[in-house]
Structure 1
């Protein structure tokens, strides 16, 4: 039997890109780009202080933008969502540590409009000539909802967030993690829902128009003393640590792993009775 013929991809015209002639690249960049271009998995590399983006055809197909032509190699007018979705997400990679996030909801272009899709993101630092972090490689894969253990049920959460984009993102993330979610934009909308339906968790922004998140939680606690309270705040727990009732806080911007960890704590308490 004859061996299948090897397929050699065309060599990109690197001197015509912002990366310049590949002869001047560090060995780590050459290796990373070779792996990226020959991988069937969607991959996107951000390189240098200019944030030059290099990507493979799998990433271009996933992102769906008609203007994307692999391998890229230019500074984009707008950062790709894989690097822009959370300002704190890349901090570990910039410090030289690999990091991953599961079930991140990113906007992708589909059939002429934007759709949100849950993805798993894996970030790997790529060293430069001097051993520092010269770039960050992101591999993207379609997310699978996190499996809940056999003895557990999804948490029922009411999300209160006045920013529509943030509200959509957190709700899609919570659903990807396997939970049941309702959402409203204000405390005034939340109180009737809390009276009509049973929730395990009230997840509210601290700063809301009208009734504040703290006052909403106080009133909700009177209605349902068993309700777990989770705050999101740009000030961490500074505004909530001295409250007269138990609660937990996430500091904005928080990542998926932080959210999942605190929900696991809450779930253990709720299911433990």
Structure 2
């Protein structure tokens, strides 16, 4: 079981994502803005974080760099509902510090595989 933080401002996506990961035995917390990420990381320990590219209070690029400054070993997976962004040069360059990039259309199985890869027992 992994402790997962989801940072995304789409409540419907977060609800489905959370329910699925919890059904697989993971412990999941979520925040809806980039501003909420660091305060929660300072309060709780997580094994992996899923970070949305575009959200209020700071998207993935700015938040990822802040995470790396304080939590250099925390695996971060960037998620986006905008497929055109995933391979754009700015996206790739700005998010090179992330361990993985995924579309929001990824299946629960794919998400779980990423979690298990990044959080070996």
Q: What's the TM-score, normalizing by structure 2?
A: 0.85
Report the secondary structure of 1:158's partner residue: strand
Equivalent residue pairs, number: 116
Which has the larger helix fraction?
2
Contact kept in structure 1, 2:8 and 2:31, CA below 8 Å: yes
Tell me, in whole angstroms, the C-alpha distance in 2 between the residues paired with 1:199 and 1:237.
27
Tell me, in whole angstroms, the C-alpha distance in 2 between the residues paired with 1:246 and 1:161.
16
Q: 1:266 aligns with which of 108, 118, 121?
A: 118
Mark the runs of 5 or more structure 2 residues left unpaired by the alignment: none
In structure 2, the CA distance between the partners of 1:247 and 1:218, relative to structure 1 (3 Å rule), is same
Which has the larger strand fraction?
1
Moved over 6 A (4+): none
After superposition, the C-alpha distances for 1:192-239 in whole angstroms (9 at most, x for unaligned) are 001111111111111111211221121112111110001111233435
Q: 1:202 aligns with which of 49, 56, 61?
A: 49
Computing the radius of gyration over CA atoms, which structure comes out larger, 1 or 2? 1
Q: What's the TM-score, normalizing by structure 1?
A: 0.40
Report the secondary structure of 1:210's partner residue: coil
After superposition, the C-alpha distances for 1:74-93 in whole angstroms (9 at most, x for unaligned) are xxxxxxxxxxxxxxxxxxxx
Counterpart check, 1:241 vs 2:74: no
Tell me what 1:251 maps to: 103
Aligned-residue Cα RMSD (Å) equals: 1.6
